[in-house]
């Protein structure tokens, strides 16, 4: 059974965006999207060189995520092309399964156009309906001002700072911990 229903959303430029659950059949497209996004953004923990997942591994992962009622993978599609991605994982222990963290990305050409907001709305609507999930968390690079502004606008609050938690060629980066109770 689907966790979310596909939803058409008008984004800032009047385009029709489709927000839907990712399925195992999307493995190749999700893999291609992930490879593109990793090569294009400094704000993800995984580097393009580290990402070695195969199509079959991606297919297995998407199938496992779809089977778990407390995990979610959604994509944003525009004209059949994935332009945004979000995955949510709850805790795997009795004492932390009420909360989970998500990661989200949007292709460069579609940032600041409502795609991230649409993905985040879908996650929060699902989490609010899910009887097991009470808290949604994230980590964000402290210098990713646009993402932080979106999270604050969506009701996320600062919970802490992980100092020098990411190291890139440009040096160390702090990560902000943010959360929202649903």
**In the chain, where are the structural domains located?**
7-133
Q: What is the pLDDT of residues 91-112, one digit of tens each?
A: 999 999 999 999 999 999 999 9
Does pLDDT of 173 surpass 90? yes
pLDDT recorded at residue 167: 94
Residue of 53, 93, 54 lying closest to 70 (CA atoms): 93
Q: What is the pLDDT of residues 7-44, one digit of tens each?
A: 999 887 778 999 999 999 999 999 999 999 999 888 99
Per-residue tokens: 39: 């090569």
Does pLDDT of 1 surpass 70? no
- Fold for 7-133, please state it: Aminopeptidase (3.40.630)
pLDDT recorded at residue 141: 97
Per-residue tokens: 14: 């009047």
Mean pLDDT, range 135-163, rounded to an integer: 97
Beta strands 135-141 and 99-106: pairing type? parallel
Q: What is the pLDDT of residues 50-67, one digit of tens each?
A: 999 999 999 999 999 999
pLDDT recorded at residue 160: 98
Does pLDDT of 133 surpass 70? yes
Contacts of 130 (CB under 8 A, 6+ apart): 69, 70
Does pLDDT of 134 surpass 60? yes
> 36 - beta bridge partners?
none
pLDDT recorded at residue 12: 72
Interatomic CA distance for residues 32 and 144, integer angstroms: 24
């Amino acid at each position: 059974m689907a966790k979310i229903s596909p939803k058409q959303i008008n984004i800032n430029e009047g385009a029709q965006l489709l927000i839907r659950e990712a399925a195992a059949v999307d493995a190749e497209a999700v893999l291609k999207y992930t490879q593109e996004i990793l090569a294009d953004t400094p704000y993800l923990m995984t580097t393009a060189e580290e990402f070695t997942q195969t199509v079959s591994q991606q297919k297995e992962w998407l199938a496992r995520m779809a089977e778990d009622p407390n995990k979610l993978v959604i994509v944003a599609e525009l004209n059949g092309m994935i332009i945004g991605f979000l995955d949510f994982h709850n805790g795997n222990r009795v004492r932390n399964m009420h909360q989970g963290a998500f990661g989200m990305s949007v292709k460069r050409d579609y940032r600041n156009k409502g795609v991230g907001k649409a993905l985040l709305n879908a996650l929060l609507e699902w989490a609010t309906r899910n009887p097991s999930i009470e808290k949604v968390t994230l980590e964000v690079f402290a210098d990713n001002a646009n993402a932080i502004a979106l999270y604050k606008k969506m009701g996320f609050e600062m919970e802490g700072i992980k100092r020098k938690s990411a190291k890139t060629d440009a040096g160390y980066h702090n990560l902000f911990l943010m959360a929202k109770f649903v």
